[in-house]
Structure 1
Amino acid sequence: MKSFKFILAVLLFSSLSWSANAIQDEKKWAEIYEIIDNIKEPVFQDKTFNIVDFGAKADGSTLNTEAIQTAIDKCSKAGGGTVLVPAGTYLTGAIHLKNDVNLHIAENAVLKFSTNPNDYLPLVQTRWEGNDVFNYSPLIYANGQNNFAVTGKGTIDGQGSSENWWPWKGASQYGWKEGMPSQLDEGVGRPALDKWEREEAPLFERQAGEGFYLRPQFVSFINCTSVKIEDIKIINSPFWVVHPILSKDVIFRGVHIESLGPNSDGFDPESCKNVLVENCIFDTGDDCIAIKSGRNSDGRKPNVPTENMLIRNCKMIEGHGGVVIGSEISAGARNIFAENCVMSSPDLDRAIRLKTNNHRGGVTDGLYVRNIEVGQVKDAVIRINCSYDPKEGQGNYPPMVRNVYISNITADMTGKTPAKYGLRLEGIKGENAVENIYISDCTFNGVEKVSQIEDVKNLHLENVIINGKKVEAN
């Protein structure tokens, strides 16, 4: 009788615990909806500045940088409005957005960006894979600006290819050949960034640009507020596609990204607050969405996490991961939400992914994911990896991933190439790196292995069915 009462008590406690977690979960969703509803969306005066009136030519070969920048500058100085890129193909170098300007790419307009690195000088302040640096200007850039947007049904083309920008990666599949320079060369590129970060060099000493082979981001802005990117199509990025840094109130809506080059992450908010991503399509050469907050000391010193982010109603096609946190996550992330997305491709590696290591560190606290339809992935449906990029060796900043709530993910690879795993969750031996993971009401079919779970504390599985069998937490 005592054993029966004990079992009953355990079952009751478990039921109450899940009920309490469900209530907490719904409370958190209500909170993020309220935060997102209060994002300050940019608004603009009813004034139009047509770039053709400033001398721009739609012949695809005339460099229109000066004409476009003049239109932007005059629009901002006049109190703001719309800078119109009308139908046609316009070649340009770096464009710097200003306060109160809506850069509108009209339907049947193509803003095509030069492949000459000199057209992205002077160097500007940015981050490159989480490290602070002065580098080539992103193709579209802003620093310290407020209330601006890039909108319209047109296309912006970065012209990244195996002949332009991409060989700097140093990988043969992207056009690099033996003897060509790359970001991997000693003393430049990635090694230079690592050295500057390790020695905590002042920002003004971190001058990259010519000879460093660090590809520019396509759209990037730093220290900005009230920003919207809406409806445009973005193709062929040299590097990360859209990269907000240290910015607040960011809306990314209805954007279609097609960029299959090296490190072509679709949307990488870094140390940002109050971010909405909705109704977007991602077909990328790297992570579709990757949430960042700085790499190593360049993230830890300012200690600005990415927080209050909602992703909804998006489609993820090709990429390393659908919704990803990391790997440059040294200042952490919190209150990250994703719902009602479709993810599927034989070239999509994972659906939900968290990646870090004990060099990067950082605390990810509060990831909420629900209602995700997965057609096909290669590696795992849900992946947590706290030993990402092991070639960095052992560090002294153990990461932490905690309070992860995932529900109602369906994945069916029956008759397709199966994923290697349903669940692949790896903490760090001897550390409480991964704890309080709640996965419920998920069904995965057509995976090779049910799970790989190591060094996870407080893992709760409720109604998780993989290959037709209920999976229990160990």
Structure 2
Amino acid sequence: MKNKLFRLFSGISAIAVSVMFYNCAAQKKTDVLSNPWKLKKQIEATVVAPVFINKNYSIVDFGAKSGGVVNNSEAFKKAIEACTKNGGGKVVVPTGKFLTGPIHLDNNVDLHLEDGAEILFSTKSSDYPLVKTTFEGTECMNHSPLIYAYNKKNIAVTGKGILNGQADNENWWYWCGAKRYGWSEGKGNQNDPQNRVRLVESGEKNVPVEQRIYGEGSYLRPSFVEFFECTDALIKDVKIINAPFWVIHPMKSVNVTVDGVTVESHGPNNDGCDPEYSKNVIIKNCIFNTGDDCIAIKAGKDGDGRRVAMKSENIIVRDCKMLDGHGGVVMGSEMTGGIKNVFVENCEMDSPNLDRAIRIKSNSRRGGIVENVFVRNINVGQVGECVLRINMFYNVYGNQTGNFIPQVKNVTLENVKVKDGGKYGILAKGYKELPIENVTFKNVTIDKVKEPFSVENVSNLQLINTFINGKKVDSPKL
């Protein structure tokens, strides 16, 4: 009898605990939607920029020569080794031009560029050894990023100097296979079946990452700055130009601050900042002038994204300026792991070469979910296509259909002013079987736009105090 009673009360307790956790989760979800900017403040309080002890290690003291001719890879390596071995500090790059191969950061090291310093990165792909990295959302062993940190803590790149990848139509860019970037018949490119296509297939087949060997002859371009599985990372004030590929790439990292950085790079896939599988990321006071998306939040691609199964979450973008680019703040298309809690505020977006302000993109091969995107206090001068685009049928590299229908819900734009809105205020297309849910425009004014919206399979589109071409627009019946 006692055993029966014990089992009964144990069962009741388990149910009570389950109900309690369910109610707590539901309450937390409700709190986020009812007061999202409270969560934003909590995230900001969590992300603290790394601090370094007051010791300087000049690369010149380790044999570095300025002038942009001598390769200073060994000097950078020795300075970083000495710095981390002695408890950390600043590895200082003084005024001058310093040529180097890839720079690998270590714990408690701040790579600091003084005003007038410029690091020129080698354009010889053979200078970049194989490391664990990623290409377009699929992990692999490939050329090292130009600045790379793997599984490190308390790291930074700071200062008023310039990071110059020296990429152009003769170096790195033509690897994309496009003639406009210097490719011609007879040159290698990423689209060879043994290169990018093989990598994507390896992700689908769950080939171990260590066996996905690329590098020389594979034409998969490296990222510029990549923090891979790092904690407490900072990049501040530097100017980054002429990147081979994605510019700033926090990958599987936690507590990352990108502050006051200027990105000017108009090459292929030159996204300005791409947090991927990362949590608690703040991007603030930056200027993006790019050949692709200014900011693109990622979470892995297709089969490899389902293997990793990590969200990018708690991403804050504030007080930034977006110029040229395919989109101001973008989520996807590599978003298989999911994206959650994105906050964008106090930004300016304006260029005849900026296609959209806010963009979410995926397809049924990618899948994934984007939820809780909150945008407020944005001034948009000019965009070419639309203010908000949600495209669940994004198609690149041929057929991208599959059995993983993507989901988007809870997207709010508030206090947004647009002088020249392009073709559409809202351009959104979801799936009939899984519509886009809960899109809200509140206190939004859009002028010089051809059509207020073009929407398909969108559930609960609310337009509150929204004016388009001088007329108040009511919520459509969908």
TM-score, normalised on structure 1?
0.92
Match for residue 451 of structure 2?
A: 449
State how far apart, in whole Å, the 1-side matches of 2:31 and 2:225 are: 39
Distance 1:63 1:229 in 2: 24
Counterpart residue type for residue 119 of structure 1: D
Residue pairs, 1:170-181, within 5 angstroms: 170-181=177-188
Percent same amino acid at aligned positions? 49
1:421 counterpart = 2:394 = no
Aligned to 1:166: 173
Pairing of 1:340-419 with structure 2 (within 5 A): 340-389=346-395, 391-413=398-420, 419=422
Shift of 1:459: 1.3
| Deviation digits for residues 361-409 of structure 1 (CA, Å, limit 9, x no counterpart) | 1111100000110001111111110110163242111111001111111
The alignment's C-alpha RMSD in Å is: 1.4
Q: In 2, distance between residues paired with 1:432 and 1:185? A: 35
- Code of the residue aligned with 1:64 in structure 2: it is N
The answer to which of 192-201 and 101-110 deviates more is 192-201
Q: CA deviation at 1:179?
A: 2.2
What runs of 5+ residues in structure 1 fail to find an aligned partner?
A: 1-20
Q: Which residue of 1 aligns with 2:278?
A: 272
Question: How far apart are residue 26 of structure 1 and its match?
Answer: 6.3
Q: Which residue of 1 aligns with 2:7?
A: none
Partner of 1:439: 441
For 1:113, which of 95, 118, 121 is the aligned residue? 121
Distance 2:137 2:32 in 1: 33
Distance 2:205 2:39 in 1: 41
The structural deviation recorded for 1:193 is: 1.3
Matched, 1:46 2:33: no
Q: Distance in 2 between matches of 1:439 and 1:89?
A: 49
Amino acid in structure 2 at the alignment position of 1:59: G
Change in 2 beyond 3 A, CA 1:24/1:245: closer
Give the whole-Å Cα distance in 1 for the aligned partners of 2:54 and 2:293. 37
Q: Distance between the aligned counterparts of 2:111 and 2:355, measured in 1?
A: 34
The 5 A counterparts of 1:7-406 are 27-121=35-129, 123-188=130-195, 190-389=196-395, 391-406=398-413
Give distance in 1, aligned partners of 2:236 and 2:270. 19
Asked if the contact 1:359–1:392 (Cα under 8 Å) also holds between the matched residues in 2, the reply is no
Q: CA deviation at 1:300?
A: 1.6
Q: Aligned partners of 1:228, 1:150: CA distance in 2, in Å?
A: 6
How far 1:25 moved relative to its partner?
A: 5.1
**TM-aligned CA distance change 1:23 to 1:99, over 3 Å:** closer
Instruction: Pick closer, same or farther for the CA change 1:422–1:86 going to 2, 3 Å.
Output: same
Contact 1:243 1:267 in 2 (8 A): yes
Counting matched residue pairs gives 447
SS for the counterpart of 1:60 is coil
Q: Deviation at 1:433? A: 3.6
SS of aligned partner of 2:382: coil
Q: Return the alpha-carbon distance in structure 1 between the equivalents of residues 30 and 338 of structure 2.
A: 24
Range with bigger deviation, 243-252 or 170-179: 170-179
Deviation at 1:77, TM superposition (A): 0.8
Q: Quick one: which amino acid aligns to residue 122 of structure 2?
A: S
Structure 1 stretches (4+) deviating beyond 3 angstroms? 21-26
> What per-residue deviation string (whole Å, max 9, x for no partner) do you get for residues 415-436 of structure 1?
xxx61111101111x2224101
Q: Alpha-carbon deviation of 1:298?
A: 1.3
Q: Letter of the 1:104 partner, please give it.
A: H
TM-superposed deviation, 1:24: 5.8
Could you tell me which residue of structure 2 aligns to residue 9 of structure 1? none
The alpha-carbon distance between structure 1 residues 311 and 141, as it changes in their structure 2 partners (threshold 3 A), is: same
Whether contact under 8 Å (2:204, 2:304) holds in the other structure is no
> How far apart, CA to CA, are the structure 2 residues paired with 1:112 and 1:147?
25
Q: Write the deviation string for residues 318-372 of structure 1: whole angstroms up to 9, x where unpaired.
A: 0000000000000101111000000010000000000011111111110000011
Matches of 2:358 and 2:166, distance apart in 1: 30
Matched-pair contact (CA < 8 Å) for 1:398–1:433: no
CA distance change for structure 1 residues 393 and 55 in 2, over 3 Å: closer, same or farther?
closer
Are the structure 2 counterparts of residues 287 and 126 from structure 1 closer, same or farther at C-alpha, using a change threshold of 3 Å? same
Judged with a 3 Å threshold, the aligned counterparts in structure 2 of structure 1 residues 23 and 136 are, in CA distance, closer, same or farther, namely closer
In structure 2, the gaps of 5 or more residues are 1-28
